[in-house]
Amino acid sequence: MLAAGVAGLFGAMTAGRTAEATETAALPVRLDQLNLVNLSHVNDPATTNVFPGDPAFTLETIATIPRDGYYLQFVREGEHTGTHWGAPGHFNTGEPLADEMDPADLFRPAVKIDIRAKAAHNADYAVTIDDLKAWERKHGRIPDGAMVILWTGWDAKWGTPAFPNLDANGGIHQPGFSIPAVKWLIDTGRIGLRGGTGTDTFSPDVGTDETYTVSKLVYQRHRISLEILANLRALPATGAWVLAGGPIHRRGAGSTATIFGVLPPGVQAE
């Protein structure tokens, strides 16, 4: 029954493919045939870039096997340190917080928009509606309720000053979504009650936008944002799902997370 349920979820991603592919996708999927890829950075104080103004991240060993019979670290960090997901209440008063989310909010079909070339030439690049439509002409319509993930190339900069890319005044320079593009994704249902955005940078906003307008739009209803993703080369442009884990804090703004790409049989990164 579980396998059939997973097959049904992935079946939604096969619309528009060949009849042979659709027939294959309709068959029960064995869970051991799914391929998981890790989309999270390791949280290491020596390499973790912390958003300016957020709490410092520290790990302290408080128990060792020789001394205590077990090993344990004390973790001190903000909820959005390193790879994480954010709940709607992170930016909007009255919207759901982490302990008010549903499991389905954290398991969504995913598409990956590769903007590395444009971001390499313009660190403040804002993805447009035309960019999204061009992606759809190549890969098909973005599914309703999807996680629309930007691959900017910033995942390769993790752990270095090039990741926050601060200017002389401390301003962040990272690419993101334009406001019209996110409004279009919302208005057309591509990110609807559920779904949201993902990125390998700090935020779906362009780094220079200190109003966080894109975040305020994304973080509504049961939509989330996946941020500081890693290993996006392993995520296909379409056909995969993403699963976000992590501790659920009472009234949490989200959670540091291990985020997986879930690839059904036959789906591979390009």
Query: pLDDT, tens digit, for every residue of 159-181?
Result: 999 999 999 999 999 999 999 99
Residues found in the chain: 270
Helix (H) or strand (E) run with residue 215 in it:
helix 213-218
How many angstroms separate the CA atoms of 83 and 235, rounded? 16
The contacts of residue 66 (CB under 8 Å, 6+ apart) are none
pLDDT category at 17 given cuts 50, 70, 90 is very low
Cα dihedral value 81, 84, 89, 92, nearest 10: 80
71 domain-assigned: no
125 domain-assigned: yes
pLDDT in tens, 59-68: 999 999 999 9
Positive or negative: CA dihedral 40, 46, 51, 56 = positive
Mean residue pLDDT across the chain: 91
Residue 167's CB is within 10 A of a number of other CB atoms, namely 11
69 domain-assigned: no
11 domain-assigned: no
The CATH number of residue 254's host domain is 3.50.30.50
Structure letter (DSSP) for residue 172: B
Structure letter (DSSP) for residue 166: B
pLDDT category at 18 given cuts 50, 70, 90 is very low
- 7 vs 71, more confident: 71
In angstroms, the Cα distances linking 166 to 67, 151, 157 are 43, 20, 13
29 domain-assigned: no
Based on the structure, what is the number of domains in the chain? 1
Task: Work out the average pLDDT over 252-256.
Answer: 96
Burial of 16 (0-12, 13-18, 19+ CB in 10 A): exposed
25 domain-assigned: no
5 domain-assigned: no
- The encoded tokens of residue 256 equal 């540091």
Task: Work out the average pLDDT over 257-261.
Answer: 97
How many angstroms separate the CA atoms of 95 and 75, rounded? 28
3-state class (DSSP) for residue 2: helix
3-state class (DSSP) for residue 10: helix
Indicate the pTM of the whole model: 0.89
Task: Work out the average pLDDT over 22-39.
Answer: 76
Using alpha carbons, select from 82, 147, 156 the residue that is nearest to residue 116.
Answer: 156
Q: Got the DSSP string for 76-114?
A: E--TTSSSEEE-GGGTSTTS--GGG--GGGGEEEEEEEE
pLDDT category at 6 given cuts 50, 70, 90 is low
H and E: helices and strands count for the chain: 7, 13
Letter string b/e over residues 82-103, b meaning 16 or more CB atoms within 10 A of that residue's CB = bbbbbbbbbbbeebbbbeebee
Which structural domain range is residue 140 located in? 34-53+79-263
Q: Tokens 């320079």 belong to which residue?
A: 173
How many angstroms separate the CA atoms of 118 and 127, rounded? 9
pLDDT of residue 27: 61
pLDDT of residue 241: 97
73 domain-assigned: no
